Amino acid sequence: MDDTITTIYCLCDDFLKAIDHRDDPQVLLTTAEVMSVPLVAAAFFGGNVDKTRRFLHEYGYMPNMISANPTSTAASTPSSLRRGGLSFRCWPKPSRNHPTTRTKRRWWTPCP
């Protein structure tokens, strides 16, 4: 596990160097570190980024760890985003001869 985490970070860092990416001097976490978190999550934690963040911080891989995403909790997420990741508040009305307008289920929300 230790070698794999180190390899993931090195590959991300080498890739960013190859494309001549430079981090802003004010950053607390490098882009390679940010890229490594979801890759390690996919490899070892079943995609759970929160567990990965805590693990990498507690075991000293990343002393300055990113904070949890404040929009990841349902209480702080707008209801339009909780319905599927996109806001479906205003879609244009389909034409009358469109096949889905003849069904009972509406797949769109009319503009006000």
Q: pLDDT by residue (tens digit) across 7-37?
A: 999 999 999 999 999 999 888 889 999 999 9
Give the pLDDT of residue 75. Answer: 43
Contacts of 41 (CB under 8 A, 6+ apart): 47, 48, 49, 51, 52
Identify which has the larger pLDDT, 106 or 62.
62
For residue 4, pLDDT over 80 is answered with yes
For residue 98, pLDDT over 60 is answered with no
pTM over 0.75: no
Work out the pLDDT band at 111, boundaries 50, 70, 90: low
| Exposure b/e, 72-86, CB count within 10 A at least 16 = b | eeeeeeeeeeeeeee
Give the pLDDT of residue 8. Answer: 94
Give the pLDDT of residue 84. Answer: 47
H helix intervals, the chain:
2-18, 31-44, 49-58, 79-82
Among 54, 42, 49, 45, smallest CA distance to 8 is for 42
80 and 87 Cβ atoms separated by less than 8 Å: yes
Cα 82–Cα 83–Cα 85 angle in degrees, nearest 5: 70
27 and 7 Cβ atoms separated by less than 8 Å: no
pLDDT digits 0-9 by tens, 42-96: 999 999 999 999 999 999 998 887 666 554 444 444 444 444 444 444 445 555 5
**CA atoms lying within 13 Å on the CB side of residue 107:** 8
